[in-house]
Structure 1
Amino acid sequence: MEPIASSALSYVLKDGDCFIVANAAGDIEGGSDGFFHNDTRLLSRFSLRLGESQPALLSATVSRDNVMFVAHLTNRPLPPLGGSPAAQGVIHLQRERFLRGDRLYERIACVNYGQGIVRLPLRLWFAADFRDMFEVRGSVRAARGELCAVDPTPDAVHFRYQGLDQAWRSSVLSFSRQPSLLSEEMAEFLLELGPGAREEVYIECGLTAAASPSSKHFRNGAVQARVAMRTRQRRSSQVRSGGPLFDAWMDKSRADLALLTSELETGPYPYAGIPWFSTPFGRDAVITALQTLWLDPGIARGVLAFLAHHQAQEESAFLDAAPGKIMHETRKGEMAATRELPFGRYYGGVDTTPLFVTLAGAFAERTGDLAFIERLWPALRAATEWIERVCDANRDGFLDYARGSETGLSNQGWKDSEDSVFHADGRFPPGPIALVEVQGYAYAAFRAMAILAKRRNDVDVAMHWQERAERIREAVENRFWMSEFGFYGIAVDGDGELCRVRSSNPGHLLFAGLPEPERAASVAANLLTPAFHTGWGLRTLASGEARYNPMSYHNGSVWPHDTALCAAGIARYGDRAAAVRLLRGMFEAAVHFDLRLPELFCGFPRAQGSTPVAYPVACLPQAWAAGSAFMLLQACLGLEIDGWRGEIRVERPMLPTGIDYVAVRRVAVDNRRVDVVFQRQGERVSVHLEGRDAAAVPLRFFGG
């Protein structure tokens, strides 16, 4: 099911479990716009008018820290209301908005720059449809609950809805002053403005009524929102370079990750993306944590703790659940509560479980925090045992999937659209399906468990998991390799037939470290040809393959996180120059997207003077798209932190094109913080540590 597109450029804010999507004027006008809380739309219309006229937009922006939306507007000619008509462009309106504590705060400030008195009919049109996010995305329901009559009171409007799950959902619009006219769909404030006069209206929307919206409430809430956002950003290291635009991209990516990260009881957790996926996803969060692990291991810790807490304990075909399996996504809306869809807590992702184990191993290497691993150990054992059970049931020993119910996802890898896995002639394969990259994740998971078991002095178990890793590695090399292409096929189907299709998936095998070096070099060379490399990033499917379409969701588009994983894999096998090339293309694409990489964009080839082509319903921002900037940079710098030894390792670093200096500020090593500074010196790149703790942290440098 493909979501509907928003009609115009959207401006997004998020805090906790609520977010708002509106147009440049700050209006919510339908489509995918709205103010949402827990997958339910609390406001489906929220539009500002001056009488019958729509204000003219001057500019709109979201602050650099992603806290405050600001729109500047002016009046079109106003009809006389007992006085002289107001000419166009004499009234300045400034809409300021932020979210805090599941509540929307807004200030509308009006200033008269004309020479005469203006009576300004400020009107707000509103509605609340309480539609579930899946309805907003396009799902058609046989029945809905009861939408109650709107209840206007002197200074507020109450909306209520009783869902088919019998739960009551409500939202309340509260005003700082009583409207001169109030109905079930509109509030009018008749403001009289003398020359140079300023009037303000404060509005709040939340699950309950506000005590009294005011300037003080607005200012205090804004301070709290900014402090909370600043705290989230300060956990992470910061990148500084000799390139202001490059720094702006890094800062925007860092701010987007802070925006999308919610503080849960188990720790920080990056929600997947806005608007469609503003909720905990397993795969997305694990990959985001891997992308940012070198800069902020706290995200990985929060992700691991949350996913361990929600690990499946029982079998359920409807939920695609089995003991030990790690959650794919969770939803809190009405359709999940009524089980119209299985996504209340859904486990239909074949790759999330091995990725969870892989992240735990990477977290341990990054931090040396064996005590946390000990607390996770039962969850890690259960997850690994699930992987083993599924592999043991497959004829080749592969980790495969087949959905348990027709309501579940038909494809359960990261390319989970219905048409993303197929044979060379375009036909769809029978299940169960073993995806090539998933075998790489399983290999990495077994290796991670072997290393952790050895750390725990459990030598026999460590040897067992190392043998499992080697077994799956050999099976992949034997069954997936296509010698005529020097590449791996995308999947092996339920009949044991290889889907001989060239996709970006084998790039993830390189990230996992599975292929032998000669084959890894061949995969890398293929990925860098025009069949894959558009000039902006890597296509998910090579041009010329059956079902190739550069405008599709998974069959020829460019996903930044996919390109970043491939780049990290290519760099792992020694080609850091290719990582620099891929980072350059993605950076230049980001510039065209206002420094915010979308979930995906179209896979058209880059031409002289061209720009990347947007995919119309991509999430923006999206966590693993924002995190890709940092994975790409790490692939170039060759920087690793060894938490066991408390040291920093840098191997054959290269700097981004046009950048002669990069400093990674406040890198955490044990309880110390250091700055890692890279400097181009002719054909070489040097590296040194700075900061108060620099002398206490060992630096191992290889090549340059």
Structure 2
Amino acid sequence: MDDAYSVQTTAAETAEADGLEQLMALKDADTFCVADQWGDLKGGADGLFDNDTRLLSRFVLTIGGARPSRLSSGVSQDNVFFSAHTTNRPLPPMGGRSAPAGVLHIERRRFIWNRRLFERIRLHNHGIEDVLVPFAFDYGADFADIFQVRGTFRAKRGEIAPPTHDGRRVTFAYRGLDDVERVSCLAFSEPPARISGSRAEFMFSLPTGRRVDLYVECGPDRCEAPDEGRFRRNAVEARLAMRRRRRRGASVRGPRSPRFNDWLDQSRADVALLTTDLPTGPYPYAGVPWFSTPFGRDGIITAWQMLWLDPSLARGVLTYLAKRQATEVSAFKDSAPGKIMHETRGGEMSALGEVPFGLYYGGVDTTCLFVALAGAYARRTGDLETIRALWPNLIAATQWMTDYGDIRKDGLISYQRGADTGLSNQGWKDSEDSIFHRDGRFPKGPVALLEVQGYAFAAWQAMADLAQALGEPGHEQWAARAETVRSLVEDRFWMEDEGFYAIALDGDGEACRSIASNAGHLLFTGLPSPERARRVTKRLLSSEFRSGWGVRTLATGQARFNPMSYHDGSVWPHDTAMAAAGMARYGERRAVALLLGEIYAAAAHFHLRLPELFCGFERAAGEAPIAYPVACLPQAWAAGSVFLMLQASLGVNIDALRGVVEVDDPVLPAGIERLNVTGLQIGAGAVDLAFQQMGAHTVAVTRRKSDGVAVRIVG
């Protein structure tokens, strides 16, 4: 999910950057805030952003001229509130004795709602004497485009106007090179003793045992006057909106021991945090901070992970992407008619074409995944009305696969970027060094990635099934096309001496014989023969791939293996989940339960919030997994991974077109003795399922079932 302007090759290169792993994130719709553990914004990789523009780049609180001592901080489990608890250092004398350290409790409580940051600063005097409290905010707004914040050089910028201020508010303004004026306003509930364009100073007299509150708001327009009522009303609205998003779809609950349930709750809350309700329906944005925007591939895979529990995400993703399907050929945008979007951005640099990501199509796999998800959605929901509305888009997508995706006219989907500004690699492993030959050479293009052929296979199969369900022509031709792709992959990518598939074919048709996790995605699509799937699974479960915390992206011993790299030996939870679901497709449920247990153990060390990726070092007894320092946190397909793995482990398959829920040989992960799935919607009906460990076997029973829904339990 990287792009040409943010490629990271090793964690070591970025470990001395700006401590991104320490940032705390809040998000609502297209507005997000990342701050340090004190709640401060210091002009690094942090800030308050709206529509890919930084509206507030500096916002630092000092008490008596010093940063307070931090007690604790964090984000609430529902992801609505950030809170930081601090205490004062010794205060300077104010007409008498100075106050000692540790007598003031300073709480900062913050949330984002309706394109605004709301914050309450509460000061409570726990000392035995009255205190005069001098405190101040230093602030600023640079209106940097998100790509600037990420390090992209700009030779020229627009003009920042001098800040203006009145008694309790400061207004910042910037006119960009796109001739758009961007404004942000910072307002306080109490008038400062002194205020300027960069600093507000306050002096509160605080009797012993008493407290005082200051309310702050910042947003991309004229400020309202902050007060307690506005803070409370908007906080309630923000929390209710998050609750609605979290409660969509079915529920999964584990045993009475709360730890596993806390992981499920945190993961569900992270998906809800990243999901924005667009006019086309809910869409999971990829991740905070760098990818808080619709991505095609990430949205599709996250929706697929959640599909069995909450199909509304898939419908929202499909509908949104259909409306942004390409209609023209553009080398700069890597677009061609029928292609599905990779990424969209709203900042100044995208509007000016300084970067191609305003509406960018440089993902070779997204179009195939779009079609395949449509097939999975129809099977899961029976919603043929939506599929019929999308049918012209699906036809256009398959036309792209034939006319533009098959660059070499050899029956395989391949890529070669259209302009130097685009992505050099256009699969999910899109960093510069992720695709290579066994000796480390980079392949010449066009490149045909292994997993993309699996997605194409799934897409052709989906079109065949959908045509049959809709009574449209083409069923036989699309089914035949799927089998042709299967034959090509088995013939050209399989390496008998390795018992594995090559990661790619280069422009000469030579196999890139690197041993990588991409083969796990091929299993997910069901393309390999059972015998080859067994051999791939065995290798993916070997110590070459398994770190003890999940599956590495690259096997140890490969030319570019580096456990600290972005794609060449790290562990990505969604990648492990895709491989696990693929194994389950071939009956390997115990392997899935094993991997689920490993990912759960990793999550426990990351405060139950899985990052985008972490380092692929071998697990050592008593030690935690090693963090990748600039991983997105939270990240949508990392949060969704647990739900895909649970579905695979439990063997739950839903066919709403036939009104059937099948549970095939379920297996619970070690240490989880029971699990309940409630509110699975099947058409107009619903099903509740319960799973319990009984000796060496997992037993599934139906707790509730609507008429017209059949439940089949196998094994």
TM superposition score category, shorter chain reference: over 0.9
Give the equivalent residue in structure 1 for 2:437.
423
In structure 2, which of residues 264, 285, 290 is the aligned counterpart of residue 276 of structure 1? Answer: 290
Matches within 5 A, 1:381-530: 381-390=395-404, 392-459=406-473, 461-530=474-543
1:642 Cα offset (Å): 1.2
Query: Aligned pair 1:319/2:333, yes or no?
Result: yes
In structure 1, which of residues 39, 56, 60 is the aligned counterpart of residue 52 of structure 2? Answer: 39
User: Deviation per CA, 1:624-662, whole angstroms, max 9, x where unpaired?
Assistant: 000001011111000111111222110000011111110
1:210 Cα offset (Å): 2.6
Alpha carbons 2:65, 2:135 under 8 Å: kept? no
Gapped regions of structure 1 (runs ≥ 5): none
Q: Which amino acid aligns with 1:699?
A: V
1:213 Cα offset (Å): 0.3
1:113 Cα offset (Å): 1.2
Q: Which amino acid aligns with 2:653?
A: E
In structure 1, which of residues 692, 701, 704 is the aligned counterpart of residue 713 of structure 2? Answer: 701
Query: Aligned pair 1:66/2:79, yes or no?
Result: yes
1:83 Cα offset (Å): 2.7
Q: What CA distance in whole angstroms lies between the structure 1 residues aligned with 2:210 and 2:696?
A: 63
**% identity of equivalent residues:** 56
Give the equivalent residue in structure 2 for 1:254.
268
Does 213-222 or 663-672 show the bigger shift? 663-672
Alpha carbons 2:293, 2:345 under 8 Å: kept? yes
Give the equivalent residue in structure 1 for 2:378.
364
Give the equivalent residue in structure 2 for 1:301.
315
User: Deviation per CA, 1:239-272, whole angstroms, max 9, x where unpaired?
Assistant: 1111421111111000000000001000000000
Q: What CA distance in whole angstroms lies between the structure 1 residues aligned with 2:540 and 2:248?
A: 35
**Partner of 1:688: helix, strand, or coil?**
strand
Q: What CA distance in whole angstroms lies between the structure 2 residues aligned with 1:61 and 1:507?
A: 35
Give the equivalent residue in structure 1 for 2:645.
632
Query: Aligned pair 1:182/2:182, yes or no?
Result: no
Give the equivalent residue in structure 2 for 1:612.
625
Gapped regions of structure 2 (runs ≥ 5): 1-5, 9-13
Does 578-587 or 76-85 show the bigger shift? 76-85
In structure 2, which of residues 636, 643, 663 is the aligned counterpart of residue 623 of structure 1? Answer: 636
Q: What CA distance in whole angstroms lies between the structure 1 residues aligned with 2:204 and 2:706?
A: 61
Give the equivalent residue in structure 1 for 2:28.
15
Give the equivalent residue in structure 1 for 2:11.
none
Q: What CA distance in whole angstroms lies between the structure 1 residues aligned with 2:531 and 2:409?
A: 27
Give the equivalent residue in structure 1 for 2:360.
346
1:667 Cα offset (Å): 1.4
Q: Which amino acid aligns with 1:341?
A: V
User: Deviation per CA, 1:44-68, whole angstroms, max 9, x where unpaired?
Assistant: 1111111211111111121111101
**Partner of 1:59: helix, strand, or coil?**
strand
**Partner of 2:22: helix, strand, or coil?**
coil
Q: What CA distance in whole angstroms lies between the structure 2 residues aligned with 1:673 and 1:480?
A: 43
In structure 2, which of residues 303, 306, 309 is the aligned counterpart of residue 292 of structure 1? Answer: 306
How many residues end up aligned between the 2 structures? Answer: 701
Q: What CA distance in whole angstroms lies between the structure 2 residues aligned with 1:109 and 1:294?
A: 44
**Partner of 2:576: helix, strand, or coil?**
helix
User: Deviation per CA, 1:74-122, whole angstroms, max 9, x where unpaired?
Assistant: 1111011123211111111111100000000000011111122211012
**Partner of 2:156: helix, strand, or coil?**
coil
**Partner of 2:675: helix, strand, or coil?**
strand
Alpha carbons 1:6, 1:33 under 8 Å: kept? no
In structure 2, which of residues 543, 546, 555 is the aligned counterpart of residue 542 of structure 1? Answer: 555
Query: Aligned pair 1:222/2:235, yes or no?
Result: yes
Alpha carbons 1:29, 1:45 under 8 Å: kept? yes
User: Deviation per CA, 1:536-593, whole angstroms, max 9, x where unpaired?
Assistant: 0111111111111111111111100000000000110111111011101000000000
1:215 Cα offset (Å): 0.2
Alpha carbons 2:350, 2:358 under 8 Å: kept? yes
Q: Which amino acid aligns with 1:431?
A: G
**Partner of 1:92: helix, strand, or coil?**
strand
Q: What CA distance in whole angstroms lies between the structure 2 residues aligned with 1:685 and 1:548?
A: 38
Q: What CA distance in whole angstroms lies between the structure 2 residues aligned with 1:30 and 1:458?
A: 56
Q: What CA distance in whole angstroms lies between the structure 2 residues aligned with 1:310 and 1:571?
A: 34
Counterparts in 2 of 1:432 and 1:2: CA distance versus 1, 3 Å: closer
Q: Which amino acid aligns with 1:651?
A: D
Bigger relative contact order (CA 8 A; separation at least 6): 2
User: Deviation per CA, 1:499-525, whole angstroms, max 9, x where unpaired?
Assistant: 011000011110000001100101101
Give the equivalent residue in structure 2 for 1:104.
117
User: Deviation per CA, 1:194-236, whole angstroms, max 9, x where unpaired?
Assistant: 1112111000000123321000000000000001000111113
**Partner of 1:177: helix, strand, or coil?**
coil
Q: What CA distance in whole angstroms lies between the structure 2 residues aligned with 1:393 and 1:48?
A: 56
1:463 Cα offset (Å): 0.4
Q: What CA distance in whole angstroms lies between the structure 1 residues aligned with 2:536 and 2:337?
A: 35
Q: TM-score, normalised by structure 1?
A: 0.98
In structure 1, which of residues 626, 644, 648 is the aligned counterpart of residue 661 of structure 2? Answer: 648
Alpha carbons 1:174, 1:209 under 8 Å: kept? no
Give the equivalent residue in structure 2 for 1:568.
581
Alpha carbons 2:7, 2:431 under 8 Å: kept? no
Give the equivalent residue in structure 1 for 2:571.
558
**Partner of 2:300: helix, strand, or coil?**
helix
Q: What CA distance in whole angstroms lies between the structure 2 residues aligned with 1:232 and 1:689?
A: 26
Q: What CA distance in whole angstroms lies between the structure 2 residues aligned with 1:254 and 1:580?
A: 20
Give the equivalent residue in structure 1 for 2:593.
580
Q: Which amino acid aligns with 1:208?
A: D
Query: Aligned pair 1:83/2:100, yes or no?
Result: no
In structure 1, which of residues 372, 377, 388 is the aligned counterpart of residue 391 of structure 2? Answer: 377
Alpha carbons 1:390, 1:400 under 8 Å: kept? no
Q: TM-score, normalised by structure 2?
A: 0.97
Query: Aligned pair 1:163/2:203, yes or no?
Result: no
Query: Aligned pair 1:689/2:702, yes or no?
Result: yes
Q: What CA distance in whole angstroms lies between the structure 1 residues aligned with 2:265 and 2:540?
A: 29
**Partner of 1:680: helix, strand, or coil?**
strand
Q: What CA distance in whole angstroms lies between the structure 1 residues aligned with 2:406 and 2:475?
A: 18
Q: What CA distance in whole angstroms lies between the structure 1 residues aligned with 2:7 and 2:369?
A: 26
**Partner of 1:581: helix, strand, or coil?**
helix
Q: What CA distance in whole angstroms lies between the structure 1 residues aligned with 2:199 and 2:249?
A: 44
Q: Which amino acid aligns with 2:460?
A: F
**Partner of 1:149: helix, strand, or coil?**
strand
1:392 Cα offset (Å): 4.9
In structure 2, which of residues 664, 680, 694 is the aligned counterpart of residue 667 of structure 1? Answer: 680
Q: What CA distance in whole angstroms lies between the structure 2 residues aligned with 1:155 and 1:52?
A: 21
User: Deviation per CA, 1:569-627, whole angstroms, max 9, x where unpaired?
Assistant: 01101111110111010000000000000000001111222211100000000000000
Q: Which amino acid aligns with 2:546?
A: H
Alpha carbons 1:83, 1:118 under 8 Å: kept? no
Does 693-702 or 309-318 show the bigger shift? 693-702
**Partner of 1:285: helix, strand, or coil?**
helix
Alpha carbons 1:2, 1:137 under 8 Å: kept? no
Alpha carbons 2:596, 2:669 under 8 Å: kept? yes
Matches within 5 A, 1:121-132: 121-132=134-145
Counterparts in 2 of 1:290 and 1:413: CA distance versus 1, 3 Å: same
Q: What CA distance in whole angstroms lies between the structure 2 residues aligned with 1:165 and 1:54?
A: 39
In structure 2, which of residues 156, 161, 164 is the aligned counterpart of residue 151 of structure 1? Answer: 164
Q: What CA distance in whole angstroms lies between the structure 2 residues aligned with 1:380 and 1:505?
A: 25
Q: What CA distance in whole angstroms lies between the structure 2 residues aligned with 1:118 and 1:391?
A: 70
User: Deviation per CA, 1:457-495, whole angstroms, max 9, x where unpaired?
Assistant: 235x01001111111110101100111100000000111
Q: Which amino acid aligns with 1:628?
A: S
Q: What CA distance in whole angstroms lies between the structure 2 residues aligned with 1:90 and 1:346?
A: 54
Give the equivalent residue in structure 2 for 1:594.
607
